[in-house]
Amino acid sequence: MKQIIFLHLFIIFSSSCSCLKTNVYNSDSVVLTASNLTLLDGKYERFSKQQGTNAGDLYWAFFDRGYNHRGNTEFFELKVINKNKLKVLYIDEYETIKDKIMKGEIKNGYFEFKRKYLFIPAVYVNLYRDSKFRIRLTKDNNLLADYNQISFGTFVVIVPFYENEKANNMIFKRIENE
């Protein structure tokens, strides 16, 4: 049994990579650098204009679990802490529901987050998820995001699955203070 688990782990770590290597060109965006990263500070609508999958929902992009939908007054606020950290706040009107400091780095003009999850009880469910999410601004101050996630595992030991979800150039509208 140990050999099967080690083989499974070896396959997972040697073959998985959610890559955002190719940039989907968007001429309507601002290239982020360490000096202008604070342009991200602001409030953004939760759902993208191209909503359809979880990738079009900032909640799933930032928190990935513990889904909590309260209504139409939800939004996200981003605050730059430094060149490698953003504070993400999930807000319902005036109440902060969740907040998290997320680590990332500036790559190719985007602020890129990388997350990996591994869940192995080995009898009922095995899960490996590798996701990348990157953001930058459009020239009209909306949030532009790209997302890629690869997940695979088994359920009840014998039912394997594989998922590869991608979304590019999702626009999340900036909310202006009233």
Query: According to the model, what pLDDT value does residue 78 have?
Result: 93
Query: What's the mean per-residue pLDDT of the chain?
Result: 77
Count other Cβ atoms within 10 Å, centred on residue 76. 21
Secondary structure tally for the chain: helices H, strands E: 2, 11
pLDDT tens, position by position, 104-128: 999 888 898 877 666 666 566 677 7
Calculate what percentage of the chain has a pLDDT beyond 90: 16
Between CA 7 and CA 2 the distance in angstroms is 8
What are the pLDDT digits (tens) for 142-158?
998 888 888 777 766 56
The SS3 of residue 173 is coil
pLDDT tens, position by position, 63-91: 766 666 666 678 899 999 999 999 999 88
pLDDT tier, 12 (very low <50, low <70, confident <90, very high otherwise): low
Three-state secondary structure of 6-75: HHHHHHHHHHCCCCCCCCCCCCCEECCCCCCHHHHCEEEECECCCCCCHHHEHHHHHCCCCCCCCCCCEE
- Report pLDDT digits (tens) over 32-49: 999 999 999 999 988 887
Q: Give the model's confidence band at 30: pLDDT under 50 very low, under 70 low, under 90 confident, else very high.
A: confident
Q: What is the pLDDT of residue 176?
A: 79
Contact of 68 with 46, CB cutoff 8 Å? no
Q: How many domains does the chain have?
A: 1
Residue 7: predicted pLDDT: 66
Q: Is the pLDDT of residue 159 over 60?
A: no
What's residue 146's pLDDT? 85
Q: Which domain holds residue 93?
A: 2-175
Name the pTM for this structure. Answer: 0.69
Q: Does 16 score more than 50 pLDDT? A: no
**77 neighbors 91 (Cβ within 8 angstroms):** yes
